[in-house]
Amino acid sequence: MNATLKLLPFAVATLFATQVATLPAAQAADTVNTLSNFQQTGNTTPPETVPQTGARADALRENLKQIKLPPGFKIELYAVVPEARHMAIEPSTGVVFVGTRKNRVWQVTDRTKRRVADDVVSFASSVTFKVPNGVCFSPDGVLYVVEQNRVLAFPAAQFFGEGGPDVAAAVVVPQGKLIPTQFESFNHGARACRIGPDKKLYIALGQPWNVPPKDKLAELDKNGLAGIIRMDQNGKNREVYAHGVRNSVGMDFNPKDKTLWFTDNQVDGMGDDIPPGELNHATKAGENFGFPWYGGGKVRTEEYKDTTPPAGVVFPQVDFAAHAADLGMSFYTGKMFPAKYQGGIFDAEHGSWNRTKPIGARLMFIPIKDDGTAGTAEVFAEGWLTPNGEYMGRPVDVQQLQDGSLLVSDDYAGAIYRISYTGAK
């Protein structure tokens, strides 16, 4: 992080956010202005902006005509956002923060509530980010940004980020302390995060191999790689929550029973049709989900076929199509969509990168049954992969706006789409 950004102690940063959230509107605005003045550091470079009109936006809208949805649904361009990956929607204003696998976090604002972005600007441009893929909000409005090997927190981000590079920020996990630096890799280095019902910060950590060497397993597991970790929101009391997870880049908590669900991308090089991708359900801390003994589902890996898997491996709730690359997912808690979709999971399939016949690039819907288990997955939106195998887009994440519509990010096309329901025709 460069010198233009002043860091606040975590407790102070959190207090600022809490105070702003509970003040009357006028007083909150004064408080935000005071905090902004306090953070002014002399860096007057304006943030990068992304045009929302022109030939690119027109072409994206034209491509959306090819997307197939169930009757009564429609998809529209919400924002042009380069390399758009995971999204976090601020609870009170609906401002969308978008992570990337590069060096930017974008702030997407719909000021007029027309359900389309008025402006897209780089957030916290005085911060040097490295793979800031993971973004998530706490209920009281603190934005967490999980990079490849660092975690930052930004209170009242939607106010500090407007119109300039200076922000209030706290270091939750310092650079080089999220994972051992020898395990840093662009391969499986994009993190996902959520704040759980227990108010802890959950982070999915991939690992840098297709299948890791046996002599690296103990160190990987000790540090939570090939797993999901959790910690207090100030970075303390870190522990490994889930083991045996190859590369999860999407998770959410079921609001009904507070349990964690997550996608997992499985082993490459075993063939076009195996192993399956996974949707997993964690019900308690310490469970093992089978990797690297299993390459996906119940398919054993060649490298570990002669070794005994851990006792009590938890197998997937859903086996997805092999190599479809299921990434971001979220439970649908809105009321806009028909009853069929309420309480279920929407899942973004990024699409295969090395399958001889590409598959994926679509949204899946998975109902959740009364007993808390998953029903049969079905295609909800498709058409980003053309019949001749060419990608027009590659969905990454799916999140819900306050009105019950869905936002879908696309890092290939550089866009965010909005799916709404207008009634069956």
Report the CATH number that the domain containing residue 150 is assigned in CATH: 2.40.10.500
**282-300 tens-digit pLDDT:** 999 999 999 999 999 999 9
- Structural domain count, the chain: 1
Question: Residue 307: phi, psi to the nearest 5?
Answer: -115, 155
- Residue 5 inside a domain? The answer is yes
Q: Average of pLDDT values for 359-363?
A: 98
Tokens coding 120: 């897209």
Q: Tell me the per-residue pLDDT of 239-258, one tens digit each, with 9 for 90 and over.
A: 999 999 999 999 999 999 99
Does residue 128 sit within a domain?
A: yes
- Whether 94 maps to a domain, the answer reads yes
CA distance 384 to 75: 12
Q: Percentage of the chain surpassing pLDDT 90? A: 84
Expressed in percent and rounded to 5, the helix, strand and coil fractions of the chain are 15, 30, 55
| pLDDT over 90 (residue 20) | no
Q: What is the pTM of this model?
A: 0.91
Say what the pLDDT of residue 164 is.
61
Q: Which sign, positive or negative, has the C-alpha torsion 139, 141, 144, 145? A: positive
Average pLDDT, integer, range 346-355: 96
| 127: containing domain | 1-44+81-170
CA distances from 417 to 80, 116, 168, 266, 337 (A): 9, 9, 30, 27, 16
**40 or 87, higher pLDDT:** 87
Per the CB < 8 A criterion, the answer to whether 411 and 84 are in contact is yes
CA atoms within 13 A on the CB side of 30: 5
Q: Is residue 65 part of a domain?
A: no
State the chain's mean pLDDT as an integer.
90
Q: How far does Cα 204 stand from its chain's mean position? A: 10
Does pLDDT of 30 surpass 90?
no
Is residue 245 in a domain? no
**131 lies in a domain?**
yes
Confidence of residue 159 (pLDDT cuts 50, 70, 90): confident
User: Residue 80: which pLDDT band, with cuts at 50, 70 and 90?
Assistant: very high
In this structure, of 166-175, 310-319, 342-351, the range with the lowest mean pLDDT score is: 166-175
Domain membership of residue 283 (yes or no) is no
Would you call 217 exposed, middle or buried from its count of C-beta atoms within 10 A (0-12, 13-18, 19+)? middle
pLDDT, position 342: 97
- Written as one letter, the residue type at 117 is A
pLDDT bucket at 16, cuts 50 / 70 / 90: very low
* 111 falls within a domain: yes
